[in-house]
Structure 1
Amino acid sequence: MALIEQGRCVFEVAAKHADPQPAIVWASSSSVYGLNTDAPFSEEHRTDRPASLYAATKKAGEAIAHAYNHIYGLSITGLRFFTVYGPWGRPDMAYFSFARSIVAGEPITLFRTADGADARRDFTYIDDVVKGCLGALDTAGESTGTKSGKKRGPAPLRVYNLGNTSPVPVTRMVAILEKLLGRKANKRVVTMPSNGDVPFTHANVSHAARDFGYRPATPLDAGLRRFVDWFVHYYKLDTAKIAKGKRKSMAMSAAS
């Protein structure tokens, strides 16, 4: 798996070829919580039941980080990101691909659980995540290893959740995108598959708040507005057409 090997290579170089050894902060994922149903997700909760191969690779990364910390004295901090969104984001993420599909008039697929509940995600704006990353870097303790492979003592090994602490139905996210883009989505609602996905994510960020003052401050509507402003500019979309669609949407809402 590429994700596992990439992380291992970073740890290997830092452990055996850097002098002095750096402190490492790396991106894990909220997906490690897998089939956990306790909410909000806390760092003490089980992470041994991944719901996807991606989640399994992130869990493997955390295990490898533990080994390098124990053997070589690397100071390592893993950050479990919760559904990060915003400008310059990953095009394969739901909010991004939904925006493209809405503009193109293509259908989007939304999941509901077997009992009819909408899938929910703890959407976390990129600026809040960056502040969390910087806080983790600023408070990372020193590594204790040497190029010879010997370590002077134990080094810090930390894991933190970086989320927004407020799960939102994915249908709500789509409604905000529709309003901002001035177009209705062609929605296809299906039952969530029993394998490969989870019905909700919900971050407990109390440890990050305690240790480096992490406090997410961006509500979903404000973050998506910034994303759409960037999206429209980056892809050179017809702003007049979008504005017309917004006015039409507002008029329909007022009439209903």
Structure 2
Amino acid sequence: MLVAARLRPMTTAAKRPVRIGFQLQPQHAEYADIRRAAAEAEELGVDILFNWDHFYPLSGDPDGKHFECWTMLGAWAEATSRVQIGALVTCNSYRNPELLADMARTVDHISGGRLVFGIGAGWFEKDYTEYGYEFGTAGGRLDALAEAMPRIEQRFGKLNPAPSRKIPVLIGGGGEKKTLRLVAKHADIWHGFGDVETAARKVRILDQHCADIGRDPAEIERSVGVPGSPEKLGKPLHDLGITMFTVATDGPNYDLGLLRDWIAWRDEHNA
């Protein structure tokens, strides 16, 4: 059985096409710059366009220019036509779960069914303290996410009109005891970070959490942030069963060079 579990990710990768995500970090830029970069990324053929859910920059000037996540997603829903959109990731702490489900359903409809619902437990203390949220502990924030997910799922079922389709849920994070267990229970996509060795460990643990609850791990798409070239990272990560590769860039001068390389690699791989 252990051998089968080790082979399963490669089988999953063989069945899923490679997809490329692009995180436009909404920091240090005017919104016009962000919108232009989003339009260019869609024209290049990226599969998923992400922002993030913070209130302040994470790098550079800590009080630099920054824009809010979900109002931006509503704008992207109108400004784009093909690419999927979402947050990488929404912080569960900042909005009531029922409200968040309603917001997601609304953006889903505005976009014509292109929203990916990315969510995580939250970690950036400055966001919490400046905006009046209780920071608490990492364990407490993960427990809150575990409590919120069934509420979000239930609210999706009560909304009128309902979501246009089952909105894909992406859970971000690599915590091995709690986060990956939540992924196994609730997510359609898992997003993580780290080198190939780290990713291999997380994939094995996620597969085990799926086995523990009787879920087929092949149902969950695996995604990682890629800071380097596809020549270096593409094959070893894909061999682990990872099929979505997400490039990130920040403002004000959004660089799409690495994104172009990954899109070209995707097209060659999927041909």
Q: What TM-score, normalized by structure 1, do the two folds share?
A: 0.28
Greater helix fraction, Structure 1 or Structure 2: 2
- Rg: which structure is higher? 1
